[in-house]
Amino acid sequence: MLRIYFQEADLSRVRVAKAPDPLWETVLGLYRLGADAAGPPVFARWQRQAKAAVHEQRLHGAVGLLRDLVPRVGYFPDFLTPAEAGTGLSEGLAALRDTPGHRLAHDLRYAARTRRLSTWTGRLADGDRDVLDELVDAVASVHRTVVRPVWDDIEAAVGVERSLRGAALLDGGVEAMLSTLRPVLRWDPPVLSADYPTPLDLHLDGRGLLLIPSYFCWGKPVTLADPTLRPVLVYPVEHPPTWLDGVAGTRAGALEALLGRTRAAVMAALVVPSTSTELSARLGISTASASEHVGVLRDAGLVVSHRSGRTVQHALTPVALAVLGQSFRT
């Protein structure tokens, strides 16, 4: 059981990550990549494509290197997911490359408590920078090959999750928002709890909590093992039926028949809140056309628009999310 203990000051310091974390997605994607045929069906198509890409790109060595640190079950070193990755992949890889020697040694000693590590990890624990560079290159290659191809889907899923949690926060406050994270997480003030492979108590002590929605997280949330690090909680997004084999094409075709191809594309693109300019660039249409389609969708109650400074952000309403086949918590 995981128990996260809040103080009053922590409630004002709860945040939902602005974007997917590329290194958390890469590490958790490795778990999904190694799952057997009985694994979550929503990942089946991606798993087939990712395994084929690993074979075509001859990345078995890179995957094997990471497998030494990221087993099919159990702990992986905290240093693989530095906080800087929340800003972007390049920042995360740079932070990983700059991991202090004491952090490498600490995390690898912790990993060695429960399993035998490959001999090369001893050199890494000793601070060998050549080995660390090889590890960082492996992470970058695996991300590029198995995670990057579905990054648009990842961004869309996390964008929907942020919108839902943001709506819950505006409607009822932080505690109401935490309550909407069921069934994966349970809020019983002042404790947020979840099923977990090992007993773990995390006391926030006024530091707050960063919630990180994740595409490749499945079933149970994940947190850092070292309680002295910035508190984060990675939890699974809801996976809509459109991610299942054979469903996406049928659903997309029906939406096009209902709305027309371009308007359906605009609606689908708005799972990530965007401006008209961003929509036009993404879809290859004029800004005027994007604005026109957004206006029609807004009049139909499928889009809401909010002004922020000189820009106007458009986002889908819960009704639109339901039309797109999103399955979300209430």
Following DSSP, what letter does each residue of 234-264 receive, concatenated? EEEPP--GGGSTTTHHHHHHHHHHHH-HHHH
What is each CA distance from 234 to 81, 176, 181, 194, in whole angstroms? 11, 19, 12, 12
One domain, residues 294 and 259: yes
* pLDDT over threshold 70, residue 112: yes
One domain, residues 124 and 40: yes
One domain, residues 55 and 7: no
Q: What is the pLDDT averaged over residues 99-103?
A: 97
How far is the C-alpha of 318 from the C-alpha of 311, rounded, in Å?
Answer: 22
Q: What percent of the chain has pLDDT over 90?
A: 64
Within a domain: residue 265?
yes
Q: Which one is predicted more confidently, 252 or 144?
A: 144
List, for residues 120-152, the tens digit of each pLDDT value: 999 999 999 999 999 999 999 999 999 999 998
How far is the C-alpha of 110 from the C-alpha of 82, rounded, in Å?
Answer: 17
Work out the pLDDT band at 330, boundaries 50, 70, 90: very low
One domain, residues 143 and 157: no
Q: Which one is predicted more confidently, 210 or 34?
A: 210
Q: What is the pLDDT averaged over residues 220-236?
A: 96
Within a domain: residue 161?
yes
List, for residues 306-323, the tens digit of each pLDDT value: 887 788 989 888 788 777
One domain, residues 83 and 144: yes
One domain, residues 44 and 144: yes
Count of the separate structural domains present in the chain: 3
How far is the C-alpha of 263 from the C-alpha of 297, rounded, in Å?
Answer: 8
Q: What is the pLDDT averaged over residues 237-255?
A: 58
* pTM for the predicted model, two decimal places: 0.77
Determine the Cα angle at 112 with ends 108 and 115, to 5°.
135
Question: What rounded mean pLDDT belongs to the chain?
Answer: 89
Domain finish residue from 187, 219, 236: 236
Which pLDDT value is given to residue 64? 94
One domain, residues 264 and 305: yes
List, for residues 257-286, the tens digit of each pLDDT value: 888 989 988 988 887 778 999 888 878 899
Domain finish residue from 150, 166, 195: 150
* pLDDT over threshold 90, residue 252: no
Within a domain: residue 330?
no
Which pLDDT value is given to residue 42? 75
One domain, residues 264 and 318: yes
* pLDDT over threshold 70, residue 327: no
What 3-state class would DSSP assign to 204? coil
One domain, residues 134 and 87: yes
Domain finish residue from 150, 178, 194: 150
Within a domain: residue 328?
no
Work out the pLDDT band at 39, boundaries 50, 70, 90: low
Q: Give one DSSP letter per residue of 103-126, joined into a string.
A: HHHHHHHHHHTTSPPPTHHHHHHT
Residues forming a β-bridge with 304: 315
Work out the pLDDT band at 326, boundaries 50, 70, 90: very low
How far is the C-alpha of 241 from the C-alpha of 80, rounded, in Å?
Answer: 31
How far is the C-alpha of 224 from the C-alpha of 95, rounded, in Å?
Answer: 16
Work out the pLDDT band at 247, boundaries 50, 70, 90: very low
One domain, residues 131 and 190: no
List, for residues 150-176, the tens digit of each pLDDT value: 998 898 888 878 888 888 898 899 999
Beta strands (DSSP E) in the chain are 2-5, 14-16, 186-188, 191-194, 200-203, 209-214, 232-236, 303-308, 311-316
Cis preceding-peptide flag for 190 (omega within 30 of 0): yes
Residue 294's domain is classified under what CATH number? Answer: 1.10.10.10
* pLDDT over threshold 60, residue 204: yes
List, for residues 51-86, the tens digit of each pLDDT value: 999 999 999 999 999 999 998 888 999 999 999 999
Full residue range of the structural domain in which residue 103 is found:
22-150
Residue whose token pair is 């709305």: 259
One domain, residues 82 and 202: no
List, for residues 3-25, the tens digit of each pLDDT value: 999 999 999 999 999 999 999 99
Work out the pLDDT band at 118, boundaries 50, 70, 90: very high
* pLDDT over threshold 50, residue 32: yes
Residue whose token pair is 């690993």: 54
Q: Which one is predicted more confidently, 240 or 299?
A: 299
One domain, residues 164 and 145: no
Count CB atoms within 10 A of the CB of residue 151.
15
